[in-house]
Each structure stands twice: as structure tokens, then as C-alpha cells.
Amino acid sequence: MAAGKPVVILGVFVADTAYRANRQPRMGETILGNSFKLGPGGKGSNQAVAAGKLGADITFLTRLGVDAFADMAKQTWNGAGVKSAVIDTPDSYTGAAYIFVEEGTGNNAIIVCPGAAMLISPADIEAHSDLIRSAGVFVTQLEQPIAAALKALEIARGAGVTTILNPAPAASLPDGIYALCDYVTPNESEAEGLTGISVSSVDDARRAADALLAKGVGTVIVTLGEKGALLHTKDRSEHVAAVNAGPVVETTGAGDAFNGGLAAALARGVEPLEAVRFACAVAGISVTRHGTAPSMPTLQEVEELLARA
């Protein structure tokens, strides 16, 4: 299948340090864990890896330190077919994340220190404006400064590029950002953070999505974990069931798998409802594997799953 139009993702790479234990330690307490793993992470980077492994023509825009974790980032992208536009930042460090995974459930708790990526500025975005304008689909999240995300969305929107904002981690946003977004893709807690509407059902998700449409968003896609996703516009509201690929091992990368899959599908010209179904299948496979970037499936794996489903 053709790669479609170029995808550009602005975001953060962090080295994931993942600790598995039966429970979280309490303050002042030390407990023995069951395992440790070091691997590539960061929402934007994971999304780029997901899109790259799905065959998209993808470039990832970020800042890195000049260190061992930066080398890991570049190796990860090369292996997934991701081109990179990296601003080297020797006076800072490449980001890292502490990830606690609860052994019995696979649930997680995370601390992210973005490092050099926190220095991504509107001036950096201006310097890469031609790259952003060349895209068919532009994606960003909220791990780098919001001012940079806002500037990038303005440039993309001005060039007629399809824009996706994954509002993660949850943050308060300037009102003007919503109208720059063709798609906003919150999970349940992020939807509540943006709208004040608690989301525990599909109907709740519809109410939250309506609130986001009222702020100027084109299309809202609320990801609902094992309940799938809701595609919601002024004219249609479609609940897409999750695609089951097997037993759940770890959910850490599911949202990034979904967003990378959505971007790859839209870049190929897939219509939105089918793109959401495709993205649900990408996420469905990712949760059957350990890790974030390493859990992302290939296009062949996703197409085979959809054919079976």
C-alpha cells in the first residue's frame, strides 16, 4: 500500500525506564520489583514509530540532548523508517520517563522529564515551517511547550494540512488552539480535563465531544480503552468497538499506537470512520506486547487482524 501524503509529528522522545512490581511503594518505603526494562518512549516519538512501521512517509521534529539516550532515539527511528528533524541541544539532556507497571493489572503510573524537548520554541517551529507545510497530516501532543504546539498548528492550518492534536498529557489549553485542530484525540481523563465532563460511558464521551466541538474543533475522537473509540462531529457520532488481538499485556503505548495509526490512515486518504477502525486495530495489537515503541505493529499485522475481525 502506498505511503500516502507525508506525515510530520512534533513531539518528545524520552528513554522509558520501566519498573514492574506488585504495587507502588508508599512514600519513604523501598520495595523489591519484579523486572526493569530500558526502552524508547515519548508520546510523539512513539506515534512516529507507529506511523513509520505502518509504512507512512513520516518525519519527527524534536530536540534531543547529545548523549546515549539521543543515540537510542536515532536508532529507534532508523529501525522504524522514521526520518527525523532533530535540534541538537548539548547544554541539556535527552528526556527520560519513570514508568511503574502494576504486575497484576498492567496499569501504569508515569513521571516524564522531557529535558531538551522542553526548550522547543516557536522560533524552532518557524525554522522548520517548510517541513510542516509540506505535510499532508500534522500531529502534535502536549509534552513539549504548548506555545510551540500552537505555532506549529497555526503553520499547518495556514497551509491546508490536516491537523491532529493529541491533548496528552492533560493540560489547560489556550482557547484559540481548538479551531486550529481538524481532529482532537483525548482519552477519557483528558476529555474530562478539557471539558469538566466526567467520561465513564459512550454517552458521556458524546457530551464531552460536543463541548469540544463548541470550542471550534472539527472532529473529536475520544479513545475509550477497552470500549474502543468515539468519532464525533456535528453531523455524525459513531462508536467504534475495540479490536481484540489477544490478551492484554500492557496498555502504556495504546494511545500512541492509536494516534500514529490514525495519522497514517488519514495520510493515505482513508475516510475518518475507517481510519478510526484502523487505529483501533493498531492499538489492539500494541496492548498484547510489552513496551511502547517496541509494541507497535506492522501494516501487514494490522491488515491481517482487520481481515479476521
Degrees, nearest 5: CA angle 244-247-250: 100
Residue 281 has pLDDT above 70, yes or no: yes
Indicate the pLDDT class of residue 2, thresholds 50, 70 and 90.
Answer: low
Model pLDDT, residue 126: 98
Residue 3 has pLDDT above 80, yes or no: no
Distance, in Å, from the CA atom of 149 to the CA atom of 143, rounded to the nearest integer, reads 9
Whether residue 180 lies inside any domain: the answer is: yes
The number of folded domains in the chain is 1
- Tell me how crowded residue 101 is: count the other CB atoms within 10 A of its CB: 23
Tell me the average pLDDT across 283-292: 93
Report the chain's mean pLDDT, rounded to a whole number.
Answer: 96
Whether residue 300 lies inside any domain: the answer is: yes
| Lowest-confidence segment of 105-119, 269-283, 293-307 by average pLDDT | 105-119
Model pLDDT, residue 253: 92
**Each residue's pLDDT tens digit, 210-256:** 999 999 999 999 999 999 999 999 999 999 999 999 999 989 899 99
Tell me the average pLDDT across 130-158: 97
Domain that holds residue 32: 7-308
Q: Give strand pairing partners of 15.
A: 40, 96
Distance, in Å, from the CA atom of 199 to the CA atom of 193, rounded to the nearest integer, reads 10
Size of the chain, expressed as the number of residues it contains: 309
Q: Which residue has 491488515 as its cell numbers? A: 303
Phi then psi dihedrals of residue 76, to 5 deg:
-60, -45
Name which of 202, 183, 204 is nearest 258 in CA terms. Answer: 183
Tell me the average pLDDT across 289-308: 94
Q: Give strand pairing partners of 112.
A: 97
Q: Three cell numbers at 275?
A: 481510519
Phi then psi dihedrals of residue 61, to 5 deg:
-110, 125
The answer to whether 66 and 15 have CB atoms below 8 angstroms apart is no
**For the chain, percent helix, then strand, then coil, each to nearest 5?**
40, 25, 35
Distance, in Å, from the CA atom of 14 to the CA atom of 17, rounded to the nearest integer, reads 9
Name which of 305, 248, 298 is nearest 50 in CA terms. Answer: 298
Q: What is residue 118's DSSP assignment?
A: G
Whether residue 227 lies inside any domain: the answer is: yes
- pTM beyond 0.75: the answer is yes
Whether residue 1 lies inside any domain: the answer is: no
Whether residue 2 lies inside any domain: the answer is: no
What are the catalytic residues? 256
Distance, in Å, from the CA atom of 121 to the CA atom of 290, rounded to the nearest integer, reads 33
Q: What distances in angstroms separate CA 22 from CA 7, 93, 105, one per listed residue?
A: 39, 31, 9
Name which of 256, 265, 262 is nearest 289 in CA terms. Answer: 256
Residue 154 has pLDDT above 90, yes or no: yes
Model pLDDT, residue 106: 83
Whether residue 121 lies inside any domain: the answer is: yes
Q: What is residue 187's DSSP assignment?
A: B
Residue 282 has pLDDT above 80, yes or no: yes
- Tell me how crowded residue 160 is: count the other CB atoms within 10 A of its CB: 9
Residue 1 has pLDDT above 70, yes or no: no
Q: What is residue 227's DSSP assignment?
A: G
Q: Give strand pairing partners of 110.
A: 99
Distance, in Å, from the CA atom of 293 to the CA atom of 50, rounded to the nearest integer, reads 7
175 burial level (CB within 10 Å; 0-12, 13-18, 19+): exposed
CATH number reported for the structural domain that contains residue 294 in this entry: 3.40.1190.20
